[in-house]
Structure 1
Amino acid sequence: MAIKKKGSKKEEPIILVTNDDGVAALGIRNLVEAVRGLGKIVVVAPDKPQSGMGHAITIGHPLRLYEVELFEGIKAYSCSGTPVDCVKLAVDKILHRKPDICISGINHGSNHSINVIYSGTMSAAMEAAIESIPAVGFSLMDYSAEPDFKASRHYARLIVEKMLRKKLPQHFLLNVNIPKADITQLKGYRICKQAYAKYQEKFIERKDPHGRSYYWLTGEFVNFDRSKDTDVWALANGYVSVVPVEFDLTDYGLKQKLEKDWGESK
């Protein structure tokens, strides 16, 4: 696993690749090709789509891993669990060490704003970051069966190269979204904050042939944040959005207010 460079030995970085769309998805194939040659790539991904799984882990039944031959010259494994399970198993049972970087995606569909909470793509990356593995999740805002990944490959490689270039802070984590556009139409990437935006949801009730009710979740995306430093604004204006993410959900402002207003209990 070592490569020679200018007469000395340098360890080749290990790049763990995962996703939530499944090991055979077009997005992960394009992500592998985007970073090919930047290090030793190992793929561990779910055996089926796991979109919207968030940070779920499997605790009620055993997990299974199968080696698959889907990526030329690259070790790849199909996992019966969630995206987070994939990262945990990769570190413990396949690599037997922490990889130098973990990349997740390329997701079919956006993971901007509130979507980051529900996203299996981002939860896989977040699990790596929790373990002090620099991580990034990539998402393309295109739900079509065969999207154009050219721009996604370009920006994925660019960002991964930057991440591999020097030592990163502990728990480093990025959420990267790419607009549905030709690469020539994009203006570059923009470092952003997560927009305050959400889906106004409702359930449509229908009846099955036996007269029993079932429900489809629907909704309309509403952006409440009109500032120009958000991921939603950047994507709407032709930029790739890059949002630094953290998993500490503490509201420090409210914490200080409660400490002042409530004090400590006796």
Structure 2
Amino acid sequence: MEKRPLILVTNDDGITAPGIRWLVRTMAAIGDVVVVAPDSPQSGKGHAITIDNTLYAQLFKGAPEDGALVEYSCSGTPADCVKLALHELMDRKPDLVVSGINHGSNSSINVIYSGTMSAAIEAGLEGIPAIGFSLCDFSWDADF
């Protein structure tokens, strides 16, 4: 039996955002998913990390049908979520880190300010393949 890849999913819109819920379901079809995402929206935080407060992660009860092995909500930024996942919460290094789906564009110069993309960059700095996804739609009823 072939071992399924271990996939870390995160975002910058928060753990309950529609984009991450869709991404968790999609990634669970191809691998074992661990979610570590901010407990509140962190858009525009770029690659900020928390240095002046204690970081907290707590188990999050996502929808069982989403298919994640375990989910944590984190009090920090998207970069914090990746760092915390890799160094404290996960038993082994993931095979892939997937960030998003951001509700809005991260194109052009905006990528510098993007928490979504910074989470993927943080994984890359750790030598882990990563990708960030964004939906170029700002409407409340966006179809993820």
TM-score by length of 2: 0.94
Match of 2:57 in 1: 65
Kindly state the Cα deviation for residue 11 of structure 1 after the two structures are TM-superposed: 2.5
Q: How does 1:228-239 map to 2 (within 5 A)?
A: none
Kindly state the Cα deviation for residue 34 of structure 1 after the two structures are TM-superposed: 1.9
CA distance in 2, matches of 1:123, 1:71: 26
Q: How does 1:92-131 map to 2 (within 5 A)?
A: 92-131=87-126
Match of 2:141 in 1: 146
Which residue of the other structure, out of 72, 81, 92, is the alignment partner of 1:77?
A: 72
Identity %, equivalent residues: 61
CA distance in 1, matches of 2:63, 2:120: 21
CA distance in 2, matches of 1:61, 1:36: 33
The size of the alignment, in residue pairs, is: 141
SS of match in other structure, 1:114: helix
Listed one character per residue, the Cα deviations across residues 13-67 of structure 1 (whole Å, up to 9, x for unaligned) are 1000000000000010011122222110010000000000000000111001110
CA distance in 1, matches of 2:119, 2:25: 20
Match of 2:23 in 1: 31
CA distance in 2, matches of 1:121, 1:71: 22
CA distance in 1, matches of 2:99, 2:16: 14
Give the root-mean-square deviation of aligned CA atoms: 1.0
TM-score by length of 1: 0.52
- Higher RCO (CA-CA < 8 Å; seq separation 6+): 2
Kindly state the Cα deviation for residue 71 of structure 1 after the two structures are TM-superposed: 3.3
CA distance in 1, matches of 2:108, 2:61: 35
SS of match in other structure, 2:72: strand
Q: Which moved more, 1:47-56 or 1:27-36?
A: 27-36
Higher strand share: 1
Q: Structure 1: which 5+ runs fail to align?
A: 5-9, 150-266
Structure of greater Rg: 1
1:49/1:129 CA distance change after superposition, 3 Å: same
